[in-house]
Amino acid sequence: MTDTLRPHDAVTNPYLVGNMAPVEHEVTAFDLPVTGTIPADLEGRWLRNGPNPRSEVDPRTHHWFLGDGMVHGVRLRGGRAEWYRNRYVSNDDSPGPNTNVGGFAGTTWAMVEAGSPPVELDYELNSLGVNRFHDTLTGPFSAHPKFDPTTGELHAMGYHWPDLVDHLQYVVVGRDGRVAKTIDIPVADMPMVHDMSLTPTYAVVYDLPVTVSFDVIGKGFSFPFAWNPDRAARVGLLPRLGTADDVIWCDVDPCYVFHPLNAYDAPDGTVVVDLCRYDSMMVDNFNGPFSEVLPTFDRWTIDPVARRVTETRIDDRPQEFPRHNPRVGLQQHRYGYTSEVSPGAENLHGAIIKIDVEQRTTQAHEFGHGRGGAEPVVVPKADGVAEDDCWILTVVYDVATDASELCILDAADITATEVARIKLPQRVPYGFHGNWVADSSVAPR
Ligand SMILES: [Fe+2]
């Protein structure tokens, strides 16, 4: 029998201590204290999802990617932070999705990969139950669907361990919120496919050598994936109007990618994608990332004729959670925004980095000693014209005070003092992804 500890007592698993540890209460607070000025054009909700295990877990085998989902949200309107709420994501019979939260087709969704379907949330973040896109989703979904602003479609690359062992499932959801197309893509060894890319021409498949490991399962770890040194790495271009037989596979050097930034079709027929790349992933540590190899910010230029990927390093600082202005989605972008990651430091996160991929320069917004900003959510200004006419929303954790703030930066002047700092009533544990859901995009209540 294994020893179990309550999460807040855990001392042996770095993903259960400090700001990795879950919070214990669902909190509702109104009229949050603000330093600075909340832009008046921000009317909606900042939402963020992450794992928050509420039951006893074994600290020796617990993986950061597991645990009940918890959504944190702040509602902004009229220059005020009207409320903060955090709520468990409830999936009835299993831990609720814990990886991403966002709006689509007038609905708010909590999402995860590997088979668990999206859960619909109401405006106040209460779970309304599993939503399979009006019962049209029969297989897995993803925590990282890609929105096509031209067609209004949502595209996802799903996998489902152990129900689907020999293929991925590519799903397109129409603007009506119903699945319009599903394509099975054969792959070997059941790779962990965390994300995808999308251009007007192709869906991009990341078939990389982190695969199901029976050795890891046999050792009792809770997350069954590990680095597979014997397996090739490849990236596939699935023509959006094609079938699985049409995928153009291109070999790449062994690596792992959780998150691409934007992707686009270049005039010369290549596909360009910027991404955070790891030389390897989960080689010896089966409890979570950031413990072995750190990510760099790279560009892949994928040539579908030569079936070759040209890799270029843009920034070698460790950074993750890349985001861009959604208005340039699927089109050529100039700017990316990431969170500096500093594993081993007292704060996992550091600066918010603005990358000019055209000029190959970077700027960073530093938050001060012991303070770091998580995933930068990019919101175009209402009257924005330039690509960086955006607000950056990031939750900042302060080690010294063990407290979190929602900070708003001006992307066009990223090194300037925060535009606004919104004090939250409890810390927000390090987690994964979120989005800005404008009230104008939400179905009438
Ligand atoms: Fe992710």
Q: Which two tokens stand for residue 116?
A: 């668990």
Rounded to the nearest 5°, which phi and psi values hold at 81? -95, 95
| Residue 1 is assigned to a structural domain of this protein | no
CA–CA separation, 316 and 343 (whole Å): 15
Residue-level pLDDT at 6? 43
- What is the mean predicted confidence (pLDDT) over 229-257? 97
Residue 94 burial (10 A CB sphere; 0-12, 13-18, 19+):
exposed
pLDDT beyond 50 at 174? yes
- State the SS3 of 295-343: CEEEEEEEECCCCEEEEEEEECCCEEEEECCHHHCCCCCCEEEEEEECC
Residue-level pLDDT at 443? 67
Enclosing H/E stretch for 440: none
pLDDT beyond 80 at 313? yes
Quote the DSSP letter at residue 140.
Answer: -
- Sheet of 146-147: strand order equals 146-147, 154-158, 167-173, 179-186
Enclosing H/E stretch for 217: helix 214-218
| Residue 2 is assigned to a structural domain of this protein | no
pLDDT beyond 80 at 185? yes
Q: Which two tokens stand for residue 154?
A: 């949502």
| Residue 432 is assigned to a structural domain of this protein | yes
Residue-level pLDDT at 382? 96
433 alpha carbon – ligand 1 mean position (Å): 6
259 alpha carbon – ligand 1 mean position (Å): 6
31 alpha carbon – ligand 1 mean position (Å): 31
Residue-level pLDDT at 169? 97
Look at 121 and 161; give whichever has higher pLDDT. Answer: 121
Rounded to the nearest 5°, which phi and psi values hold at 323? -140, 160
| Residue 364 is assigned to a structural domain of this protein | yes
54 alpha carbon – ligand 1 mean position (Å): 21
Residue-level pLDDT at 321? 98
Residue-level pLDDT at 110? 96
CATH (domain of 402): 2.130.10.10
- What is the mean predicted confidence (pLDDT) over 382-404? 97
Number of CB atoms found within 10 A of residue 420's CB: 21
For 82-112, write each residue's pLDDT tens digit. 999 999 999 776 778 999 999 998 899 999 9
Between 55-69, 353-367, 422-436, the lowest mean confidence (pLDDT) is in 55-69
Overall domain count for the chain: 1
320 alpha carbon – ligand 1 mean position (Å): 9
For 36-78, write each residue's pLDDT tens digit. 999 999 999 999 999 999 888 888 889 999 989 999 999 999 9
2 alpha carbon – ligand 1 mean position (Å): 30
Residue-level pLDDT at 442? 85
50 alpha carbon – ligand 1 mean position (Å): 10
Longest pairwise C-alpha distance within the chain: 61
Q: How much of the chain exceeds pLDDT 70, in percent?
A: 97
Q: What is the pTM of this model?
A: 0.95
Residue-level pLDDT at 9? 44
| Residue 372 is assigned to a structural domain of this protein | yes
Residue-level pLDDT at 91? 79
330 alpha carbon – ligand 1 mean position (Å): 19
pLDDT beyond 50 at 10? no
| Residue 125 is assigned to a structural domain of this protein | yes
| Residue 402 is assigned to a structural domain of this protein | yes
Token pair 């251009």: residue = 199
| Residue 325 is assigned to a structural domain of this protein | yes
| Position 62, amino acid | H
Residue-level pLDDT at 54? 87
Domain region containing 352: 7-441
Look at 417 and 116; give whichever has higher pLDDT. Answer: 417
C-alpha of 140 from chain center: 17
Closest CA to 270 of 299, 237, 304, 233: 304
Residue-level pLDDT at 396? 98
